[in-house]
Amino acid sequence: MQQLIELMEIGAIATFAAYNLVLYRQVKKSYYLYLGLLSFSIFMRATLVDDGSMIFFTFFPDVSLEMGRKIEYFSSYMGAPLSVLFCYTLYPLPAIKRYVNGFLILCGLLLLFVLVTPYSLYYHSLTANSILVLLSYVIMYTLLIKAVKEKRVGSWYVLAGTLLCFLFVMAELSKILGIWEMEGGPNLVNSGFVIFIFFQSIALSEIFAHSFKENEELNKNLEKRVEEKTAEITRASLLRDTLIRIISHDIRGPMSNLKSVISLVQEDQVGVDQVKEFMGTIDKSVDHTIQMLDELMEWGHAASQNKRIEQEEIDLREIIESIVQNMSRHIEEKKLDVKLSGDLDAACLFDKGALKIVIRNLISNAVKFTEKGGHVNVVVNKNDRNISIEIQDNGIGIPDEMKANLFEMKKDNKRRGTDNEKSSGVGLFICKDLITQNGGDISVADNPEGKGTIFKFELKSAS
């Protein structure tokens, strides 16, 4: 019965050794390698001990007893360094690395002594090996207790298995050294190691499951990042193509007109008065082109990956009044009544350059699409957390078919103002993009007075 139990233990250890070595080949985790080699060394010792089955010589009858002894001692002495390497690679602790290295050197010297000396000499090294086994447990407990305190995955199981195995190993050492008188009986190292295997199997399964979950999360994050990057690339490609089309179209017009006037002047086909008239038209076209290029360049700079949105506290009155002042010429030409009202002294949190682009675009659109003699109102409302800015006009309004894609960069969004002013078709798209980057939102609605439009966007309050 005892021999049958021993054979079952040996079979379990051999199976576990093969399993971990194959697993190491697949996943390249060094702790699988050391645990596999440790299991193999215990397996080899179990087939060679005197009070065991001695089945090694059944399969290898030509091996001398002297060589068998050497293999037995070598495999037995391998247990301590492989156990330490297993625990250290599983839960590394850099603070004791030099002690681990020193311990491994001592173990290496003892193994070398077994290899190069006869049985009559290395037989007396049992005490030295017992001391190294005790040192190995000191190192392993230092590592495992630290891992348990840090709540490392599987550390409780590794520690429990090591503690139980320690009891069996100490009992076997006591029997070998004559401290504990015991005739026959099972090989306690084998029994202790089978228990150790059981707990390590649970720990490694938990570690593997945890790694699998981490890989799943990583894959999900990678998939999300790939989708985001793909969307960014698609968007960048669309922006590039659309911007090239807009710029080439809007610049070509004024340049062609200017070229035509230059040709007429060179050929003396027009007089001074006609040249002045042409120049007035070209001047407006150039102003429009410059404005469009400024908008695109400012937005491109703000949207660049090298330029972060940097929110700061901004005085709204100063920003709005300066923008209205800069547009005074166009406002006066159309005889518009522009009023500023509400909580103008409120302070908001926004990127200053982006806010200037947004407000200038929205007021410019209100002026552009309001007929002469009309009015434009800029209303600021503040509550506990947010500030809303409304740009109201009583202009020509926005057709329903345009509202669905109003904040997208589409050719259909381009139309002329009430004084035949040109539109780039990109202003509202730029506004939407900058407001979104600053954590806000923008909306459009018909003016409840029955004519015109109201654009409203929100900002974070600075107070």
Cβ–Cβ under 8 Å, residues 319 and 355:
yes
Q: Is the pLDDT of residue 395 over 80?
A: yes
What are φ and ψ of residue 385, in 5° steps? -115, -30
Confidence of residue 54 (pLDDT cuts 50, 70, 90): low
Give the model's pLDDT for residue 306. Answer: 46
Tokens found for residue 219: 């894959």
Q: pLDDT grade, residue 18 (50/70/90)? A: confident
Percent over 70 (pLDDT), the chain: 79
Q: Tell me: pLDDT of 424 over 50.
A: yes
Helix, strand or coil for residue 457? strand
Average pLDDT over residues 266-286: 70
If one compares 203 and 270, the residue with the highest pLDDT of the two is 203
Give residue 138's pLDDT: 92
Across the chain, mean pLDDT equals 80
Q: Which of 217, 87, 212, 200 is nearest to 154 (CA)?
A: 200
pLDDT of the residue at 447? 87
Q: What is the pLDDT of residue 187?
A: 61
* Residue 344 confidence (pLDDT) above 50: yes
> CA-CA distance, 226 to 218, in Å (whole number)?
12
- Mean pLDDT over 420-440 rounds to 78
Q: Is the pLDDT of residue 184 over 60?
A: no
Residues 4-17 pLDDT 10s: 666 677 777 888 88
- Across the range 257-269, mean pLDDT stands at 75
Question: Residues 265-286: what's their mean pLDDT?
Answer: 70
Q: Is residue 410 predicted with pLDDT exceeding 80?
A: no
With b for 16 or more beta-carbon neighbours within 10 A and e for fewer, the 177-205 pattern comes to: eeeeeeeeebbbbbbbbbbbbbbbbbbbe
pLDDT, position 101: 94
Is pLDDT of 249 > 70? no
User: Which residues lie below 8 Å from residue 104, measured CB to CB, with a gap of 6+?
Assistant: 81, 84, 85
Give the pLDDT score at 356.
Answer: 86
99-128 tens-digit pLDDT: 999 999 999 999 999 999 998 899 889 889
pLDDT band of 308, cuts 50, 70, 90: low
Q: Buried b vs exposed e over 98-121: b needs ≥16 C-beta within 10 Å?
A: eebeebeeebeebbeebeeeeeee
Mean local confidence (pLDDT), 319-324? 90
Question: What is residue 12's predicted lDDT score, i.e. its pLDDT?
Answer: 77
58: region left, alpha or beta (phi > 0 left; psi from -120 to 50 alpha): alpha
